[in-house]
Structure 1
Amino acid sequence: MTDLAILSGAGALPVMLAEAHPEAIHVVFHGVDNAMTAPLAEHRFEKLGTLFEDLKAQGVTRVVLAGAMSRPALDPAQLDPFMMQLAPRLMAAMQGGDDAILRLIIAVFEEQGFSVVGAHELLPQITAEDGVIAGAEPSKAQLADASRAADILLALSPLDVGQGAVVAGGLVLGIETLQGTDALLRFVGDTPAHLRRGQGGVLVKAPKRGQDLRVDMPAIGPETVRNAAAAGLEGIMVSAGKVLVLDRPATLQALEETGLFLMARVL
């Protein structure tokens, strides 16, 4: 019997949590990609009432939401009574940004008596520590670009837009939106050279102001590093203690191969 359930989306984080907590119940959702292995319990978003009943029956008191999940396309014909009752609150939240939906999800789980914990609470070593983690010490120009990108993210926080921005030579090359960091970096890489003042630039990843870090904490991994290098960037700055470094050995290897720096600061 375990008191922990991992509610899994796509990506490496749910797998890392499962490896660290093999006793946990692994929950996946119909229509959502995942890399989890058996034993699994599959549920539908339309039937959250059934999910809650199953979790309680198995003695679960803590849940961690991990991995990427896009907004589900709900089938009205599949809604159980619990979801029918929740529908007005859900529809209202979906008119806002991702934070509004995530706040509602946390509230609903807590109303059902579950404690929502963050992945960083279960894997404290997974967040980026303060200081230079890999590569050379950033130059004054690179630090200035990182500061400008961080200021932009801070200013956009109330609008719930994204968790990443790229600045090069003081110019804003891109801001993360619904499409995610990889799409941002592809966009930056496609920017004509005459608009960029040459190559270079820094990617900054940081949570939105007031964001609940138990869900949707910003993350980087080896693909982030390679995509940043392909976009012509020189380094990555993240918010210390508030950004996940997924698959750290592979991320460090990618940083060594590309020559990018990775630094964490209190942003």
Structure 2
Amino acid sequence: MTRTAVIAGQGALPGLVAEALHAPSVHALDGFAPDIPARSFRLERLVPLIESLLDEGVERVVFAGAVRRPRLDPEAFDPRTATLVPRMAAAMAQGDDGALRELITIFEEWGLPVVGVDAIRPDLIPGAGVLTGAPSAADRGDAARAAEILAVTGGLDIGQGCVVAGGLCLAIETLPGTAAMLDFVARTRERRPGGVLMKAPKPGQDRRIDLPAIGPDTVAQAALAGLSGIVWQAGGVLLLDTAATTAAAEDAGLFLWARG
């Protein structure tokens, strides 16, 4: 049976992935602890981490959970990881997607292939269709507009989400994340409710890492923002707990739509 390492970030996703694996080796970037037990590591000691995984008999790696760029301590680098600094710095200068691509490349150069969450939990990525509720014609128009916006902002490596109401963009997801974006909408929009939250991976994104995710918390935040529903690109977004998320949407009167 293939031994898998979970490189974990914050949230419930690492646990959902780990529970589908036999004896996973779970490691979390320092400062971004998941909801399950994990051994902490620092990016400045990436090579020792990779070597320890190989020593454990790990044969593949999956990344799961939310992280942000850590602050690197120049004095914390071990000599071998230090040789990777020029590559890592150049990749980070290209944006988050470039940095993640380089991280995948480094693991695979050491003989550890990286697989996507969908290879382990395909059930977390629903196909096209409306899960609950009924998007109106206005909602569908807002979704189409949101998809156009994300095709542009995603191509610039800015974010994976936006909020559109009445054809107008109320907010774009940036580094602080989806919760911060929805909180901004809740605090600044006019009283008239409506509109959609749209989530989608960036165009050309390596889908083995950093897929956008939706869960019950997203539904609660969207409801507070006065939205009509949540729409996402079918096949490209993780639904962390279908039953709980659908129940939360039904209670809040929101639709959930995987847009094909």
TM-score, length-scaled by structure 1:
0.93
Task: State the 1:253 CA deviation.
Answer: 1.6
CA contact (8 A) 1:2 1:23 kept: no
Which residue is 2:250 aligned to? 256
Q: Take 2:28 and 2:97, find their aligned partners in 1: how far apart are those partners?
A: 21
State the superposition RMSD in angstroms.
1.4
The AA in structure 1 aligned to 2:87 is R
Partner of 1:112: 110
The 3 A distance-change label for structure 1 pair 8 and 129 is same
Residue 13 of structure 2 is aligned to residue 13 of structure 1 = yes
CA distance in 2, matches of 1:192, 1:249: 30
| Matched residue, 2:35 | 35
C-alpha displacement of 1:204 = 0.6
Matched with 2:123 is: 125
Is the CA contact 1:145–1:170 (under 8 Å) kept in the aligned structure 2? yes
Determine the C-alpha separation between the residues in 2 that align with 1:235 and 1:41.
38
Query: 1:83 — aligned with what?
Result: 81
* Structure 1 contact 173–188 (Cα < 8 Å) conserved: yes
- Cα deviations across residues 193-249 of structure 1 (Å, max 9, x unaligned)? 1xx7x2100111001100111000011000100100100000111111110001222
Separation in structure 1 between the aligned mates of residue 182 and residue 31 of structure 2, nearest angstrom = 27
Query: Partner of 2:222 in structure 1?
Result: 228
1:189 aligns with 2:189: no
8 A contact 1:12–1:247 mirrored in 2: no
After TM superposition, what 4+ stretches of structure 1 lie above 6 angstroms from structure 2?
none
1:69 aligns with 2:63: no
1:164 aligns with 2:161: yes
Give a deviation string over 1:2-51, Cα, whole Å, max 9, x none: 521111111000011111114211112333222112xx433221111111
> Which AA in structure 2 matches 1:154?
A
One of 194, 205, 220 as aligned partner of 1:200:
194
3-state SS of paired residue (2:63): strand
Cα distance in 2 for residues equivalent to 1:82 and 1:251: 44
Q: Which secondary structure does the structure 2 equivalent of 1:226 belong to?
A: helix
1:101-138, CA deviations, whole angstroms, 9 ceiling, x for partnerless residues? 10110111111111100111100000122111111x21
**Match status 1:154 vs 2:148:** no
Superposition deviation, residue 182 in structure 1: 0.7
Structure 2: distance between partners of 1:33 and 1:54: 19
Mapped partners of 2:183, 2:2: distance in 1: 42
Which residue in 2 is equivalent to 1:52? 50
Q: In 2, Cα distance between the equivalents of 1:31 and 1:156?
A: 28
What are the ranges of 5 or more consecutive residues in structure 2 without an aligned counterpart? none
The offset of 1:95, in angstroms, is: 1.9
Aligned length: 260
- Percent identity between matched residues is 51
Distance 2:228 2:157 in 1: 27
Of 91, 94, 97, 2:95 maps to 97
Inter-partner Cα distance in structure 2 for 1:31 and 1:75: 14
SS at match of 1:20: coil
Distance 2:127 2:215 in 1: 15
Moved more, 167-176 or 27-36: 27-36
Query: In the TM superposition, what is the alpha-carbon distance from 1:74 to its structure 2 partner?
Result: 1.5
Q: Is the 8 A contact 1:128 1:238 kept in 2?
A: no
Structure 1 unaligned regions, length at least 5: none
Residues 165 and 196, structure 2, Cα contact 8 Å, conserved in 1:
yes
User: Which residue of structure 2 lines up, in the alignment, with residue 143 of structure 1?
Assistant: 140
